[in-house]
Structure 1
Amino acid sequence: MQTLLDAFFNAFQLLASGDPELLGIVGLTLRVTGVALLLALLLGLPVGALLGLLGRFPGGGCVIPLIYTGMGLPPVVVGLFVYLLLSNQGLLGELGWLFTPSAMVMAQTIIALPLVVGLTLTAVQSLDPLLPLQLRALGATRWQLAWTMLVESKLGVFAAIVAAFGSIISEVGAVILVGGNIRGETRVLTTAIVLETRRGEFALAIALGLILLLLALLANVALYRLQQRGAHLR
């Protein structure tokens, strides 16, 4: 019991002292996750909005289930396919991205993209079906229509952002496969926690775990406040 208490005490000391290794891991995590999330949003938000506006369309019976399947795709499977793509014999092997942050961004973007598309699609479809008709009557283009629908479904869209952020910042399997967990190069919060726990360095593992929990908490607090603000505006 004393050892566990010591580990927590040392963890708080690391947090208070601004340990360089800890800060480096946190910084890389935020950079990789931030870039992956941005790419997923740039690709996923317009696609989700357009699919939500189209409603029933040819091939929708195949596309929509594929999106929903992707929302539950095991991250380690994504990591495997990205590894194969970026390996020496893979289609993208010439890029030299394997065991670099770029490979981690690629894997996390693929993991987050179906979540963004699927939740945005659901949010847009939950709006008043007469709204698109009114906007078209006012002369809105398809992209203007999609943008307006995204704004109107902002709570659902923000939930998609939070869900995507939570899924990739807490992911382990894919980033270990494609990143290699190299110290100072590709070591992020989740992979560092696994490594330090196996090494018995519980203080650093606990400190990293607390930071990970704090980031998840901040994202959900932001979502809750947005939901409360939306409820007051109704």
Structure 2
Amino acid sequence: MTVTPAALESLPLLVAFPFESVYVRSIIAVSLYVSLLAVLASTVVSVPVALVVGFTDFPGRRFATSVINTGMGFPSVVVGLAVLFLVSNQGPLGGLGLVFTKEAMIASQFVLATPAITGISLAAVTSVDRSVRDAAYSLGGTRLDVALVTVKEARYGIATAVLAGFGRAISEVGSVLIVGGNIAGADGVSKTRTLTTAIQLEARQGRYETAMVLGAVLIVIVLLVNAVVVRLGDGGRFR
């Protein structure tokens, strides 16, 4: 499949397309809603888990670390199938009616993002010099105080972890396609269609201009989130 010269020449005319198209705006909204909530929930879970695994000696600690590292490369379609089974009519959560919903997509992206955020955060917090924690203890700090000091010192690594989790979540195709169904309503508003699944659909149907615009929007979103997270990791100072 090739992109024609005519399609390339029309690209400048499509710059305003994301702002004018209800279809594209709704896809962007669904993508951001699903991915940001999934990554936020994952971060809330992952950072405390990384602190516990990193600084607590308990039976099975090495096994827990292995599970986290293995989860970072878990196949997304397997995650999608597992979540679909859980929310299907025959599954344990079938009564909640979550099949082909944004909530199921959030659950799928949460499962995919959590190992990445946990693994990278674990590496970040364990790299903090022990003297920093010892100083916090010597000043009368509680376990929570020491944890907060550690997180502050490891904030750059944790920011990288969040970015990695967001990148995996928002770029995901297989699992969200399985649990979300890539559904758009008759009114042209996306219900469970994300940027990645829409790009796949548009490209398969030969609408390369729209697919390229959606791809450009996806890249811009990732860059903007990257900038925000990096600045937050730098103490929120924008220069």
Considering the TM-score relative to the shorter chain, is it more than 0.5?
yes
Aligned residue-pair number = 228
Q: CA deviation at 1:3?
A: 5.3
Hey, what does 1:199 align to over in structure 2? 205
Distance in 2 separating the partners of 1:12 and 1:171: 28
Hey, what does 1:27 align to over in structure 2? 29
| Equivalent residue runs for 1:8-157 within 5 Å | 8-17=8-17, 18=19, 19-54=21-56, 56-157=57-158
52 and 12 in structure 1: CA distance in 2 versus 1, 3 angstrom threshold: farther
User: By percentage of residues, which structure has more helix?
Assistant: 1
| Most deviating of 189-198 and 139-148 | 139-148
209 and 59 in structure 1: CA distance in 2 versus 1, 3 angstrom threshold: same
- Per the normalisation by structure 2, the TM-score is 0.88
| Most deviating of 45-54 and 24-33 | 45-54
Distance in 2 separating the partners of 1:114 and 1:225: 23
| Most deviating of 151-160 and 56-65 | 56-65
Q: CA deviation at 1:213?
A: 1.6
**Is the 8 Å Cα contact of residues 49 and 121 (structure 1) preserved in structure 2?**
yes
Hey, what does 2:187 align to over in structure 1? none
Unpaired runs of at least 5, structure 1 = none
- Per the normalisation by structure 1, the TM-score is 0.90
Runs of 4+ deviating beyond 6 Å: 223-227
| Most deviating of 183-192 and 7-16 | 7-16
Which structure has more relative contact order (CA 8 Å, sep 6+)? It is 1
| Cα deviations by residue, 1:177-209 (Å, 9 ceiling, x for unpaired) | 000000121000000001111111111111101
Unpaired runs of at least 5, structure 2 = 185-189
128 and 21 in structure 1: CA distance in 2 versus 1, 3 angstrom threshold: same
RMSD of aligned alpha carbons:
2.2
